[in-house]
């Protein structure tokens, strides 16, 4: 196998296809996606037969209703937990994007308060040497840069979870705001962070 790059320019589903066995270092027996949403990551995936799909607000039947801070899953039973939380904070009561994306109940300025309870729960359900594959984006909230991927990494360290690698995922388009004054550049990347319950 070629050594993969830390820059990823293709889709999330293609990334997961190689990143799951690569980071776990074996084929998984069971995977959970507790932020399943509309399941974009798993369209045509060979992992569908071993995937537990859950979400706080399921969009489809076959998706278990569950909070990723308290999963109805046995301890030490999951090989891989794929985490794609809401990436944007509050955006107004009548925001269309907020309704469509299921932002959940996190802080106003950033989503970082979700990381501690998620990581504790993921650590509980993962087998030893199991991995979390987390997609985390930074954001600008009311003019202030929220470095959420750093908050995530710091929280992993607090929870004694090993951060194994960070992959930068690029994209061609980015959400356009109607800025009166431009204070920050537009972001064309997010991060896939690989975290192990055990040593790398």
Ligand X SMILES: C[S@@+](CC[C@H](N)C(=O)[O-])C[C@H]1O[C@@H](n2cnc3c(N)ncnc32)[C@H](O)[C@@H]1O
- Among residues 21 and 102, whose Cβ is nearest to ligand X? 102
- Among residues 16 and 161, whose Cβ is nearest to ligand X? 16
Residues 6+ apart with CB under 8 A from 152: 112, 115, 134, 136, 193
Strand partners for 136: 191
Which residues, numbered 96-155, are part of the site for ligand X (CB under 6 A)? 101-102, 104
User: Per-residue x/- mask for ligand X, residues 35 to 74, rule CB under 6 A?
Assistant: x-xxxxx-------------xxx---------xxx-----
CB 91 within 8 A of CB 97: yes
- Among residues 28 and 37, whose Cβ is nearest to ligand X? 37
34 binds ligand X per the rule CB under 6 A: yes
Minimum distance of ligand X from residue 89's CB (angstroms): 12
Segment near ligand X (CB under 6 A), from 83-91, 121-129, 140-148, 187-195?
83-91
- Among residues 21 and 104, whose Cβ is nearest to ligand X? 104
**Whole-Å CA distances, 113 to 10, 89, 148, 154:** 29, 11, 10, 12
Minimum distance of ligand X from residue 81's CB (angstroms): 12
Give phi and psi for 52, each to the nearest 5: -95, 125
Number of residues that bind ligand X (CB under 6 A): 19
CB 123 within 8 A of CB 76: no
Token code pair at residue 63: 């998706």
Positions that interact with ligand X (CB under 6 A)? 34-35, 37-41, 55-57, 67-69, 84-86, 101-102, 104
């Amino acid at each position: 196998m070629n050594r993969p790059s830390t820059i990823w320019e293709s889709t999330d589903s293609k990334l997961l296809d190689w990143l799951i066995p690569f980071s776990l270092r074996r084929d998984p027996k069971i995977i959970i996606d507790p932020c399943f949403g509309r399941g974009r990551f798993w369209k045509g995936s060979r992992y569908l037969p071993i995937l537990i799909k859950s979400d706080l607000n399921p969009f489809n039947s076959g998706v278990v209703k569950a909070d990723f801070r308290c999963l109805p899953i046995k301890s030490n039973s999951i090989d891989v937990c794929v985490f794609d939380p809401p990436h944007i904070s509050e955006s107004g009561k009548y925001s269309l994007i907020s309704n469509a994306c299921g932002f959940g109940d996190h802080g106003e300025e950033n989503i970082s308060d979700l990381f501690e309870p998620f990581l504790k729960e993921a650590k509980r359900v993962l087998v030893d040497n199991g991995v979390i594959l987390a997609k985390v984006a930074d954001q600008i909230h009311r003019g202030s840069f929220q470095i959420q991927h750093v908050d995530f990494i710091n929280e992993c360290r607090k929870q004694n979870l090993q951060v194994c690698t960070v992959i930068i995922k690029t994209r061609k388009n980015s959400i356009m705001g109607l800025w009166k004054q431009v204070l920050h550049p537009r972001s064309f990347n997010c991060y896939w962070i690989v975290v192990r319950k055990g040593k790398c």
